[in-house]
Structure 1
Amino acid sequence: MHDPGKISGLQMVYLLINVVGATALVFLPGFTASIVGRDDWVTPVLATLPGFYVILVITALGRRFPDRTIVQYIEKLLGPWLGKIIAFFYVLFFLHVNGVIVREFGELVAATIMPQTPQVVFAALMVAVCSYGLHQGLEVIARVMELAYPMMLILFGLILILVSGHMELANLFPMLQHDFKTIIRASLNPIAWRNEVFLLGMFFPYLARPDLARRNGIIAVAVIGLILTVNALACTAVFGVSTGRFNFATFELVRLAGFGTFLTRLDAIWIVIWIVGIFGKVALFHYAAIMGTVQLLRLKDHRTVIVPLSILLIALSLSQFKNLTEMMAWINGPWIPYAYLFEMGIPTFLLLLAFLREKPALKRNPSK
């Protein structure tokens, strides 16, 4: 099998931050504000705790199976038949979710700067670039994100500075005016997105320092929580309860930041850098689908499945939803239990099963 290379600790942190932040930063403020209004900043804070839990579960599994991905140790734990079935569903999950991500990319670009361009153009270009990168290996994707992500964070900080003059602290008050049940309901979507860090289970064997995976994963989840909380506070301080009316609240914030300054096209700069972030997220999910297929079918080289899976990914991105409204309804509805099952439920069951299998082995070998 083709060697994907090794991923450093810093690259791992950037990959995990980006796999959540690339889409959550754009969509979540509007989603959560539509339910809890100015209390939307609470939801990314609450979502951080399940994110920590998923990292603990995935790294615990990774330590028990350091040379295997989640697709491989599923077969080991569940047996050849049931294991292959569940592993196959994981490959479908990676493909299906990535189709939604590609469509999210296309819908945002179409809604903001290129409304007349067909969705197939956005999907084909993004998937083609990601496929080319994966043909070179996962390490190439990691290096791109290591170079690009600091620029994305710097730009985000610049946007906050430029928009600070439009912020009204009065828009943030009164705080916590919604009951706990409503806030929890609004947090379900942020938790589903935060738990995408479970993708670490697909590249754990390729970490240069797997012993630091848990620490780096916790850092990544904490940074994601900080970024999303600050973003939610900024959107609410500027737009107030009207944040819930925007599908792309962060993009509206960027437009406002560039208005009346020498950076009149800040929105275009942000779109370009954001596209790099989406590239990293799509590439990582596509890598998971490709490597999962290779490992499931016992193929020798991942390059043999890149083209057919890329065509299937483009088709999925175009066929799932008729329009942006349908996509938003799916993300706010069926996506939540679907994500919980694959990102949290099954990994938890696998860890429990691995633990139960270890106990008889320890009794037979008490010296270990």
Structure 2
Amino acid sequence: MGQLGKDPQHNTFSLWQMTSIITSTLIGVGILTLPRTTTEKMLEAGWLAPILGSIFAFFVIWLIAVLSRRFPGLTFIQYSPIVWGGHEHSRLGFWLSLPWILIFIGVLFVSTAITSRIFGEVVVTAVLQDTPLEVIIVSMFVLAVFLCLHELDTLARVNEILFPLILFPVLFIAFASFQKAEWNNILPLIRVPLKTAIMGSFETSYSFHGYEIMLIFFAFAHGDTGKVKAGFYGIGISVFVYTLIVLAGIVVFGYEELQKVTWPTLELVKTTQVPGLILERLESAFLAVWVAAVFTTVANGYYALIYSLRQLLKKGMLFQRIASIVLVIPLFFVAIRPQNIVEIFNVTTFLGYTTVWISVVSPLIHWLIMLYRDRGRRTEKRSDAHG
């Protein structure tokens, strides 16, 4: 990656770094509940849900990349006013784009808080049972703030280092769990109606939420083609991991049993034995890897949030550092607001629908407006030529 200059726009992420950021963001808390949520509607065919749901995610990441390629070096915060008002009506463009930008920032804020809360719930339930939930949440926030104190090159390098440390252990655990597989559990392959399968795969697409941060980070990618490649590689790797985890859960427990477990992936790890008994309690190793996965999800989302505010208010690095510390306070109160796990899952469902708005509707509307402006300019040029 290029050296950081006075202007952070001069940063460029390599293809590997962009792929690491996307994959590390997507693989997070959702992996613990995915076997249960996918089989709720699709039953034995739940393992197909991540594959079908990824079609939606691939389209979205392509759409975000197309917008970013049209405005190289600019983030969503910077090019949205240009789309709405053009260069000649910058003030109008700012006010028309402001609601879209604020919704984007608000979703990042709430999703970061809820992700941290789920992280705390799992850690307190499975490992540190006598540790207050608030301490676990604050610990994650402190790590995210520490990353926000640095420029973008630090974010890229952290994701680059943690990416293989997250990916390979998760793949190993998924493959190791097939030792106790009962392959009859996936039969019949498809017995749900087509409408139910579509709804199940659509809901699974929520598991890919997090790629909306690329509305910010795509601005710092190498070249135009790297953005699309990084997006497809990142989502492709996530799909592979998700499919393996869900398939393992189904063939080991069966879809009926998965509906009775709050954290099915964690239970799957507990039943898995490593050949040679190298690790007697595999869940401890899994949780260590999972902590790193959640950290990248929280930190990347929080960094995108703070950087968006920095660009919206046209401030510098000092503002970013102060804001990252100050915003932790309201973030903490939002994280602890849900009273129980049911309320937390209700919020995540709501966030899933809102993320669809941010990651699909917003880029699509911006893209259509851009096409309309281009068509108008071409018409004007033809008129001038004939005139």
- Normalising by the residue count of structure 1, what TM-score does the alignment of the two structures yield? 0.93
Matched residue type, 2:8: D
Counterpart for residue 361 of structure 2: 345
Counterpart for residue 69 of structure 2: 63
What is the deviation of 1:205? 1.7
Structure-2 separation of matches of 1:12 and 1:112: 32
Counterpart for residue 250 of structure 1: 265
Question: Is this contact kept in 1: 2:149–2:321, CA < 8 A?
Answer: yes
Counterpart for residue 7 of structure 1: 13
**Helix, strand or coil at the partner of 1:299:** coil
Counterpart for residue 180 of structure 2: 166
Counterpart for residue 311 of structure 1: 329
Question: Is this contact kept in 2: 1:141–1:280, CA < 8 A?
Answer: no
Residue 31 of structure 1 is aligned with which of 37, 42, 62? Answer: 37
Matched residue type, 2:39: A
Instruction: Please list the CA deviations of residues 171-218 of structure 1 after superposition, one character each: whole Å capped at 9, or x if unmatched.
Output: 111111111112222223221232431321111122234431112211
Structure-2 separation of matches of 1:258 and 1:252: 12
Indicate yes or no: 2:109 matched with 1:92. Answer: no
Question: Is this contact kept in 2: 1:31–1:247, CA < 8 A?
Answer: no
Structure-2 separation of matches of 1:130 and 1:337: 25
Question: Is this contact kept in 2: 1:68–1:205, CA < 8 A?
Answer: yes
What is the deviation of 1:158? 2.3
Please say which of residues 357-366 and 109-118 is displaced more in the overlay. Answer: 357-366
- Normalising by the residue count of structure 2, what TM-score does the alignment of the two structures yield? 0.89
CA pair 172-16 structure 1, distance change in 2 beyond 3 A: same
Indicate yes or no: 2:25 matched with 1:19. Answer: yes
Indicate yes or no: 2:363 matched with 1:354. Answer: no
**Helix, strand or coil at the partner of 1:22:** coil
Structure-1 separation of matches of 2:227 and 2:99: 28
CA RMSD in angstroms, aligned pairs only: 2.0
Counterpart for residue 346 of structure 2: 329
Structure-2 separation of matches of 1:305 and 1:62: 26
Residue 180 of structure 1 is aligned with which of 177, 190, 194? Answer: 194
Question: Is this contact kept in 1: 2:23–2:238, CA < 8 A?
Answer: yes
Structure-2 separation of matches of 1:284 and 1:240: 34
Question: How many residue pairs align between the two structures?
Answer: 365
Structure-2 separation of matches of 1:220 and 1:310: 29
CA pair 161-83 structure 1, distance change in 2 beyond 3 A: closer
Counterpart for residue 89 of structure 2: none
**Helix, strand or coil at the partner of 1:264:** coil
Question: Is this contact kept in 2: 1:95–1:313, CA < 8 A?
Answer: yes
Aligned pairs for 1:1-368 (under 5 A) are 3=8, 5-78=11-84, 79-241=93-255, 242-258=257-273, 261-301=277-317, 302-319=320-337, 321-332=338-349, 334-365=350-381
Question: Is this contact kept in 1: 2:174–2:244, CA < 8 A?
Answer: no
Question: Is this contact kept in 2: 1:88–1:296, CA < 8 A?
Answer: no
Question: Is this contact kept in 2: 1:55–1:214, CA < 8 A?
Answer: yes
What is the deviation of 1:345? 0.8
Structure-2 separation of matches of 1:337 and 1:286: 20
Structure-2 separation of matches of 1:285 and 1:160: 26
Structure 2 alignment gaps of length 5 or more: 1-5, 85-92
What is the deviation of 1:365? 4.7
Select the structure of larger CA radius of gyration. Answer: 2
